[in-house]
Every structure is written in structure tokens, then in C-alpha cells.
Amino acid sequence: MIIVTGAAGFIGSNIVHGLNQRGETDILAVDELSDGVKFRNLADLQIADYMDRDEFLDAVLAGEDFSKVQAVLHQGACSTTTEWDGRYMMRNNYSYSKHLLHWCLERGVPYIYASSASVYGPGPVFKEGLENERPINVYAYSKFQFDQYVRRLGQIKSQVVGLRYFNVYGPREAHKGSMASVAYHFDQQIRETGECRLFEGCDGYGNGEQRRDFIYVGDAAAVNLWFLDNPDKSGIFNLGTGRSQSFNDVANAVVDWHGKGSLKYVPFPEHLKGSYQSFTEADMSALREIGYDAPFKTVEEGVKVYLDELHG
């Protein structure tokens, strides 16, 4: 059995989809469905069982072994970067991750978990290393602190992998609302108003020229599955493309797909000043050096695949 937490979420459901494509259906899906619309992300997938997040955590704390667990892919977290309730964030993202980590270590079960590029704050260097890490919101801090906890463990016998996701976009993200990718929002805006709305310039960047490392969710899921196939590989790794592109690039890719639309620039929000990443670009050397050699889609390639599926 493979356990996937956050299985009804964006990346988690794409991992389950990737497992299904490999013929793997012995999957325990763990999530919290108070937001019931997330069920849609699992409705077309094959799983062996479903458990509520709290029920699952209680079972972990009670020492339940479940059934011959092959690996745990821990994607469950509060991913709302604008959430400032630190107690809630640390309980959901830090303590939960620690409990599950120790459950895996005690049983020698591979543990692949979701970290975040937000740990780097404003950058400008996005390479795994404490000297480059400056979280600027409590979400980022929760991810940073868990990475630090893992580092302090030193050499361990079973696999532990942290993946620092950069800006992921693609199918099964609609439930995220305001936290869905800009590709999703630009598509909605084109269909509703014929305009993609982008921020005006900030931090020395021109209108819409802020740059992020945008990674297609299918590529992110593929890296998770590669680590399943390579249980001798451990560590904390960036997961982006290694190539930053502008928000204008994303908007233009959406406009090109629709064959219509224009770009409109709106004032930069006051509440985001000081807690916004105007530039990210993953240093992918660590992942490449351990043997991952598959290509990553460009924004133009990924947006086309995404919108083809979204509107197919």
C-alpha cells in the first residue's frame, strides 16, 4: 500500500493519478473534506481506501501499522500563504509532518514530503542551503522549520525526501480558489471578460514582468514517482524547471490558446508588499546530480497541455 496525504488536493490528486497510470491502485488516500468540492479530484481515480486527516493522525499516534506500507507521500498541509494564524499553521504543517516522519522512521518506510520554495523568501539565490533561506510569511516558516528538523536528523537508514515546489500549475487545482495558479485565473478571466489581469510593476520589474519558476503539475508528480523508484536517494531538493518566466509569458500563453484576449495591468496590492516573491528560479543542480534527467515543460508547453485537458 502507498499512503498519499492531501490526496484530494492539487498535487496529491495528480500523484494518485500518476500512480494509477502505472497500474497502482492499492492507495490509502488521506485528506480533510470539509471543503466537499475536493471530492471531484478523487472521483475519477482508483484508490483502496480513504481516511479523514484527523482519523489518520490519531491512528498514526496510536502506532497503527496499516498494511505493508510501501511509502508515504505526504502532501497534506495548509497551503494558504496569506494565512497568518501561526498556531494553526504550525499544527497542520509542522507537527503533523513530524508525527508522520517518526512513524515512517520507526518502520523503515520511505517518506516523501512537500516542502516549498517559499522558504527562500525574496531570494535572490534559490539553492538548497540555510544561507539562502529567509521565509517571509508563517506558511513559509512552517515549511522551513520542518526542513530544519529533517536536517538535524542527519544520516538515517530509510528514505526521506523533501521537495521544494516552485509555482505549480495544472489540472485539479480549481478548488484552491484564490490560491490557484495564475494560469487558472487568467483562463477564467479571458472567458469572463476577455482580459488577463496582471499586477503593475514592483521591485524594479515592469508591468507583468515579475518572474517565477512555473512548473507543470504532471512534471512535479513525475519527480515524486521517480523517488519511489529510487529509494536510495534522500535529501531536500528544489522542484521547479530551473527557468524563470514572466507573468506576461503565462498570460500570453493563455491568450494564444484561446485565440483572443488582451492583458490589463492593475495596481500592486498593498497587503502583498513586503511578503511577495517578485522573482524565483530553482537551482536544479542537486536533483540533476542524483540522476533525475527528464525534461520540464516550458510555460508555453505546459499551459497548452493544461488548457487542452481543462476544456477538452
C-alpha cell at 211: 518572474
Q: What is the mean pLDDT of residues 220-246?
A: 98
Cα–Cα dist 185/275, whole Å: 21
The verdict on residue 189 lying in a domain is: no
The verdict on residue 256 lying in a domain is: no
| Strand, helix or coil for residue 4 | strand
Q: What is the mean pLDDT of residues 248-264?
A: 98
Catalytic residue among 113, 139, 184, 306: 139
For residue 94, what is the domain's CATH number?
3.40.50.720
Bridge partners (DSSP) listed for residue 3: 28, 72
Active site residue 94: no
Kind plus residue range of the DSSP H or E element containing 41: helix 40-43
Q: What is the mean pLDDT of residues 174-181?
A: 91
pLDDT grade for 311, boundaries at 50, 70 and 90: very high
- Main-chain dihedrals φ then ψ at residue 165, nearest 5 degrees: -65, 135
pTM higher than 0.85 for the full model? yes
The verdict on residue 224 lying in a domain is: yes
Considering just the CA atoms, what is the radius of gyration of the chain in Å?
19
pLDDT in tens, 262-296: 999 999 998 877 767 889 999 999 999 999 999 99
The verdict on residue 232 lying in a domain is: yes
Catalytic residue among 98, 176, 233, 304: 176
Domain housing 158: 2-169+214-242+281-296
The pLDDT value given to residue 155 = 81
Would the pLDDT of 79 be above 70? no
Active site residue 139: yes
Cα–Cα dist 155/253, whole Å: 44
C-alpha cell at 204: 524594479
pLDDT in tens, 137-146: 899 999 999 9
Q: Give the closest residue to 81 by CA, choosing from 107, 119, 50.
A: 119
Would the pLDDT of 67 be above 90? no
